[in-house]
């Protein structure tokens, strides 16, 4: 028991990582009748319902043993080492996204190089090996730089705005001690008016589907609000964002869902900020807001099944993250009040222990008018603060 589709002739998708992204793949897998198994890091993970294995995704034998139980391997995060993924492919296992694509989401310097090669606009950047090189970049870019670790960052972690190279001395020291060596990524500080995200799904065969471009609003480096579709300031900007999404998806050969996070700069440029090759926070609205959600589409794409329609189910959908969460426990401890006050809101709890700033869930509201819907979603999410 505890498995879906055991002994039956369905495709089984294996997800490495037991966070909320794996968790939110369980509903569409259940509806479609696809098998899903999760390799979680710990007991009692967010995706515990589907966690058929617990272990370290950096341990090759753990990953190989898990992969043997499924038909295709995909991910809740980008942290599985390339060596392991390449070996899985050598053994004939389907891995989506493929390691050759995933590397661009794993290493921000490789990503910048690839995006330039594709002719996609990015902030001015350099790979810097030491404080001397970083100081030169800072001096050439108005006395400031955004510095990022090439690997391992997320949700604002591994990102610092600096005006002096010594402010990231600890990172250079860590790189010097790392046998793999490496560089930090230095970028211009972009003066942007807002952030946009383009979600694209792509099958191994090359079929792609895109959702409408959305606006994302960050708080302390963490996605707080997503407006779908992005309000139209200049239609050319949204067209450019959609064009960039398509170029990147094809150019890196992603399979599964790709999120391209972009800045809309004050000078009119649309610049790529980050790539994620998995369902992404900017697409959570699609569970209720789209005919096919990003989670269902990711499963279809990695299983090499035809993709679904990505039209909106309503003119507007707004998602608001619950950050931190109720001090008393997971979101359901507040449901008596929250559900009564917000009967149209769709509540999502990740079953995670609250901690300041931690994403413990989200709320989505759909409707006719974006501002009305946004106010309703924010009010519903505020029930958990």
- Residues in touch with a second copy (CB under 8 A): 1-11, 23-24, 26-28, 30-34, 40, 43-44, 48-52, 54, 287, 291-292, 300, 305-309, 311, 313-314, 328-333, 335-336, 339-340, 343-344, 346-351, 353, 361, 366
Nearest distance from residue 287's CB to a second copy, in Å?
8
Nearest approach in angstroms of CB 170 to a second copy is: 36
Q: Which is nearer to a second copy, 270 or 373 (CB)?
A: 373
- Tell whether residue 89 is among the known ligand binding residues: no
Q: Is 190 annotated as a binding residue?
A: yes
Please report how close the Cβ of residue 227 comes to a second copy at its closest, in angstroms.
19
Closest CB to a second copy among residues 231, 306: 306
User: Which residues lie across from 341 on neighbouring strands?
Assistant: none
Query: Of 182, 241, 226, 209, which Cα lies nearest the Cα of 316?
Result: 226
- For CA atoms 283, 287, 292, 297, give the dihedral sign: positive
Q: How many residues does the chain have?
A: 385
* Least separation in angstroms between CB 116 and a second copy: 35
Q: Is 167 labelled a binding residue? A: no
Residue with smaller CB distance to a second copy, 43 or 220: 43
Give the separation between CA 158 and CA 170, rounded to whole angstroms: 12
Q: Per the annotation, does 187 bind a ligand?
A: yes
133 appears as a binding residue in the annotation: no
Closer to a second copy by Cβ: residue 277 or 301 = 301
Least Cβ distance, residue 282 to a second copy (angstroms): 18
d(CA 21, CA 282) in angstroms, rounded, equals 12
- Shortest Å, Cβ 15 to a second copy: 14
- Residue 187 vs 383, nearer CB to a second copy: 383
Q: Which of 32/217 has CB closer to a second copy?
A: 32
Using alpha carbons, select from 352, 374, 356, 355 the residue that is nearest to residue 365.
374
Q: State in angstroms the smallest separation of the CB of 197 from a second copy.
A: 22
| 108 annotated among ligand-binding-site residues | yes
In the complex with a second copy, the residue whose CB is nearer, 18 or 123, is 18
What's the start-to-end Cα distance of the chain, in Å? 37
359 is in an annotated binding site: no
273 is annotated as contributing to ligand binding: yes
Q: What minimum distance in Å lies between the beta carbon of 309 and a second copy?
A: 4
| Complex with a second copy: residue 193 or 353, whichever CB lies closer | 353
Q: Is 189 annotated as a binding residue?
A: yes
Q: Which residues are annotated as a binding site for ATP?
A: 108, 148, 187-190, 195, 273-274
Q: Which residues are annotated as a binding site?
A: 108, 148, 187-190, 195, 273-274
């Amino acid at each position: 028991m505890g498995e879906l589709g055991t002994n039956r002739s369905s495709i089984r998708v294996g997800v490495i990582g037991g966070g909320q992204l794996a968790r939110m793949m369980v509903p569409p897998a259940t509806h479609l009748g696809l098998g899903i198994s999760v390799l979680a890091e710990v007991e009692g993970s967010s995706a515990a319902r589907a966690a058929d294995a617990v272990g370290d995704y950096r341990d090759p034998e753990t990953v190989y043993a898990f992969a043997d139980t499924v038909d295709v391997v995909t991910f809740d995060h980008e942290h599985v080492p390339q060596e392991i993924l390449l070996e899985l492919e050598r053994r004939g296992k389907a891995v989506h996204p493929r390691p050759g694509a995933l590397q661009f989401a794993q290493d921000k310097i490789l990503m910048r190089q690839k995006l330039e090669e594709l002719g996609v606009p990015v902030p001015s950047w350099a790979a810097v090996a030491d404080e001397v090189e970083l100081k030169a970049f800072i001096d050439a870019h108005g006395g400031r730089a955004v510095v990022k670790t090439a690997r391992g960052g997320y949700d604002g972690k591994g990102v610092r705005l600096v005006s002096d190279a010594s402010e990231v001395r600890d990172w250079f020291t860590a790189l010097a001690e790392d046998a793999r060596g490496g560089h930090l990524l230095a970028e211009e500080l972009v003066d942007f008016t807002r952030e946009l995200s383009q979600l694209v799904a792509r099958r191994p065969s090359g079929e792609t589907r895109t959702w409408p471009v959305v606006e994302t609003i960050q708080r302390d480096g963490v996605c707080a609000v997503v407006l779908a579709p992005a309000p139209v300031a200049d239609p050319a900007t949204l067209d450019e964002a959609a064009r960039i999404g398509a170029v990147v998806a094809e150019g890196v050969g992603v399979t599964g869902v790709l999120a391209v996070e972009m800045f809309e700069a004050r000078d009119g440029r649309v610049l790529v900020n980050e790539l994620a090759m998995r369902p992404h926070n900017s697409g959570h609205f699609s569970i209720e807001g789209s005919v096919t959600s990003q989670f269902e589409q990711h499963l279809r794409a990695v299983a090499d099944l035809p993709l679904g329609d990505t039209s909106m189910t309503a003119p507007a959908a707004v998602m608001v993250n619950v950050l931190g969460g109720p001090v008393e426990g997971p979101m359901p401890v507040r449901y008596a009040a929250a559900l009564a006050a917000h009967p149209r809101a769709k509540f999502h709890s990740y079953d995670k222990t609250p901690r300041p700033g931690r994403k413990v869930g989200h709320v989505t509201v759909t409707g006719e008018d974006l501002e009305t819907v946004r106010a309703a979603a924010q009010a519903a999410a505020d029930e958990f603060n």
